[in-house]
Amino acid sequence: MSGGHPDGRAIAGGRQQRLRSDPHPRVLTIAGSDSGGGAGIQADLKTCQELGVFGMTALTAVTAQNSLGVQAIFPLSVEAVETQLISVLDDMGADVVKTGMLLESAIIRIVAKTLEDRGIAQLVVDPVLYAKDGSALFRREAIESLKSELLPIASIVTPNIPEACELLELPADTIRTTADMIDAARSLLLLGPQYVLLKGGHLPGESSGSSGSSDAIDVLVGSPASGLHEHLLLRSPRIITRHTHGTGCTLASAIAAFLAQGHTVPAAAGKAKRFVTAAIAEAVPHGRGIGSLWHAAQRQMIE
Ligand SMILES: Nc1ncnc2c1ncn2[C@@H]1O[C@H](COP(=O)(O)OP(=O)(O)OP(=O)(O)O)[C@@H](O)[C@H]1O
Ligand SMILES: Cc1ncc(COP(=O)(O)O)c(N)n1
């Protein structure tokens, strides 16, 4: 922990929860830029703004990306990432830090070290590995650092099903049902995070009754120390759309925003799920491929 905020708040907050009376809690997102505006840093900042928290950024890479896929990745240097982190954390501080596309192990290591040195309050790790078109957003050597350096200090990690399989070194088709998701989420807990939210967007969907419609189900599990002993299923109607670019980034940054406001991890995950569902329902079909979420949808749809 390095010093304090000018108004007396802890810079990175130790483990205490924010007071809800803070009108502008701070979220720092460490992620890649998506020129298409739907995922990455852009999705994170839109989410922060919509949820009334102050968003700050440390860029890891610039991607040339649109609804059709990822055309190019331009990584930033480790020094560039570290310098951004120090600039933000040593002056403005952060109540919650969220990571997205980290690309390579050298960046993961410097992120973990910088956050640990400053006693980060709460860390949301979205272990971004692939874009919606299947393009890799990481170097394979990064997986080991993700597991050994970042997951042990995470408050919550939010893999999708392919990412969970990569982290657990399982064949890609291993997780096929909600029961498989619960098992995988519990295995991921052994890597050290306090909570795992395994996202079910990639499952075909389970029926929600006589209507024959299906649900998008995410599984939340917690370590013994978290006090969450049973798994929780976060369930929403599955929206029939192909425009889902940015769902993972949006969900994780919404969790970060709700944590910054002082919610517990299970409450933040439930509220974030409602936020992302609303944003998918109003997705924007710009481009010829996979359109992006409309982050302002919650203005109409969430109480
Ligand atoms: N069609 C859908 N309708 C409703 N919710 C969805 C749909 N698709 C995904 N979700 C939800 O969106 C959130 C993100 O899940 P998903 O598994 O899509 O993440 P992701 O794979 O990381 O995102 P991406 O594929 O964009 O990288 C989860 O809460 C998931 O249940
Ligand atoms: C820069 C960047 N970061 C992350 C993602 C994954 O997006 P998502 O999982 O939210 O669709 C992406 N496509 N681009």
Please determine, for the modelled complex, whether the ipTM score is greater than 0.90.
yes
Q: Which residues contact 132 (CB under 8 A, 6 or more apart)?
A: 69, 244, 245, 290
E strand or H helix that includes residue 26: strand 26-34
pLDDT band at 205 (very low <50, low <70, confident <90, very high): low
Ligand 2, atom 11: nearest CA belongs to which residue?
246
Ligand 1, atom 20: nearest CA belongs to which residue?
248
Q: Which residues contact 46 (CB under 8 A, 6 or more apart)?
A: 250, 295
What spacing in Å lies between the alpha carbon of 178 and ligand 2's midpoint? 24
Ligand 2 residue neighbourhood (C-beta within 6 Å)? 31-32, 34, 39-40, 63, 65, 100-101, 128, 131-132, 137, 245-249
Q: Is 203 in the pocket of ligand 1 (CB under 6 A)?
A: no
CA gap 20, 154 in Å, rounded? 22
- pTM of the full structure: 0.92
Tell me the pLDDT tens digit for each residue of 98-141.
999 999 999 999 999 999 999 988 999 999 999 988 899 999 99
Helix/strand/coil for 38? coil
Place of tokens 């619960």: 182
Instruction: Say which ligand is closest to the CA of 43.
Output: 2
What per-residue confidence (pLDDT) applies to 286? 97
Domain parsing of the chain, residue ranges: 24-297
Distances, alpha carbon 103 to alpha carbons 142, 175, 176, 303, in Å: 7, 25, 27, 37
CATH code that applies to domain 24-297: 3.40.1190.20
Mutate to test the pocket of ligand 2, among 30, 128, 133 (most ligand atoms within 8 A of CB): 128
Catalytic positions: 199, 244, 246-249
Query: Could you give the angle at which helices 178-189 and 161-168 cross, rounded to 10 degrees?
Result: 50
